[in-house]
Amino acid sequence: MNYALRGLEGGQYKPLCEGDIKVIHELSARLLEETGIRVTNKEVLQKFKEAGAEVDCNTSQIRIPRSLLEDAIASAPSQILLSGRDENNDLLLKNNRTYMGTGGTVLYVLDPYTGERRRATLKDLQNAARLAESLDNLHFFMLPLYPLELDISNVDVNRFQCGLMNTSKHVMGGVYTVEGIREVIKMAEEMAGGAEQLRKRPLVSMVTCVMSPLLMDDVYASLLMEVAYQGIPLVCPAEPMAGATGPVTLAGTLAISNAETLSGLVLAQIVNRGTPTIYGTVASTMDMKNGSYLSGAVEMGLLNAASVQLARFYDLPIYATAGMSDSKMPDVQAGYEKATSAMMVALAGANFIHDAAGFLDFCSTFSFEQMVIDDEIIGLCMRALKGIEVNENTLAEEVIKRVGPGGNFLTSKHTLDNYRNEMFFPTIGDRRSRRSWEKNGKLDALYRARDKVHHLFSN
């Protein structure tokens, strides 16, 4: 069965109790009001000052009063439409409706023919978009690669063009220059049929970020303001690492992550009230043995699942992270790390789960084969979200009575009518007998995924 594009409801998994959510919120509000955020952009400092924040020009710190924070949260939309060129690929981010897809942005790919890691190219990005279009369980295409042959002055428009021209799914991406944002929006307006049409049905959305701990730097602040001015859906995630740029305790990292992403939301609403702003988090942990960033840690799943509950508290849609691995290749480690966090955050009900397809090696390398395998993991997550439907048909009382003791249900019309809606059918996983598997070459999942990639690229 194809569960893609269904926006199935999550919310079954809740790592925080209701009291915990309020405690973390109160700490985040105090951090913004008493400690504040350091801002290195003079225009942003002025914007905050005019909005009523306390600005210390000597330290470049702004303190956001609770009233300004609450007003910004109230002005941000509680649901956001992210459109595809094909309306069947539209995403409506609201409540616990869940979608999963690729993420961005890395500099290296595992070559699908040699297996060697190399620098990413524009052609790789085109192929990734084509592959995303062909994979039923991927709901959107977030630009996963930075083509290293391009100059920064033209990377934005070329990246988004790759996405828009090679998939009919919604395209989100990080941005790098103010002029690049304008070029991308102009291109998207032409594709959408005009400026007004693009705002009604946004084919693109954009990502900036707040630095941890509690820092809004010059470049990202300028990018955030430009996207907000343009009225394009925006996410400004925080990315604290527990033990490094966030407290080693997960509760403390949640509080600082929450404060940071809310500061970005406040700025977006100051610049353009009503800007469709998605609450965002990429929170993770540091490896306490060697000081490196971790993307496959179970704690990352916990942090992102808990962040879903905070976003629900504010009635904001959420962009969360799951489905990554620290393994260097598509192997057993990649499988269990990816499946663990993907299932946790999907069941928590995150709206837009990025990085869930293709990433390996501490989120530094993209693999086409892994993207295919991850499509299957996402399919399993969506089947779990669907749950068990209980009604007269699914209870099958009359069928059970008719078959009776000692009978079988295989030949029942009820089985034929319902099996496709009840069961998930893998395309990469092998469910044949060992004898059949051995007869057909003893091929593992990686080989089957690679074969699928090669077939797509050659056709």
Closest by CA position to 54, among listed 36, 80, 79: 36
CA distance 321 to 318: 10
CA distance 101 to 138: 5
> Is the model's pLDDT at 337 over the cut of 60?
yes
Please state the rounded mean pLDDT for residues 291-307: 97
Q: What pLDDT does residue 2 have?
A: 46
Q: What percent of the chain has pLDDT over 70?
A: 99
CA distance 127 to 372: 13
Q: Which fold has domain 75-386?
A: TIM Barrel (3.20.20)
Rg of the chain taking only CA atoms, in angstroms: 23
> Is the model's pLDDT at 4 over the cut of 70?
no
Q: What pLDDT does residue 391 have?
A: 97
Binned at pLDDT 50, 70 and 90, residue 307 comes out as very high
* 8 Å CB contact between 312 and 351: no
Sign (positive or negative) of CA dihedral 147, 295, 325, 100: negative
Q: Is the pTM of this model over 0.85?
A: yes
Q: What pLDDT does residue 459 have?
A: 83
Render 88-101 in DSSP notation, one character per residue. Answer: GG-EEE-TTB-EEB
CA distance 305 to 422: 27
Reported as a single tens digit per residue, the pLDDT across 66-106 is 999 999 999 999 999 999 999 999 999 999 999 999 998 99
Mean pLDDT of the chain: 96
Q: What pLDDT does residue 6 have?
A: 61
Please state the rounded mean pLDDT for residues 419-428: 94
Which pair of tokens denotes residue 124? 């790789």
What residues are paired with 99 via a beta bridge?
Answer: 352
Distance of alpha carbon 41 from the chain centroid: 28
Domain ranges of the chain: 75-386, 392-458
Q: What pLDDT does residue 5 have?
A: 45
Reported as a single tens digit per residue, the pLDDT across 228-258 is 999 999 999 999 999 999 999 999 999 999 9
Reported as a single tens digit per residue, the pLDDT across 143-166 is 999 999 999 999 999 999 999 999
Helices (H), 315-412: 332-348, 368-386, 392-395, 397-403
Distances in whole angstroms, Cα of residue 456 to Cα of each of 84, 124, 129, 167: 22, 13, 12, 14
Q: What pLDDT does residue 1 have?
A: 38
* 8 Å CB contact between 39 and 222: no
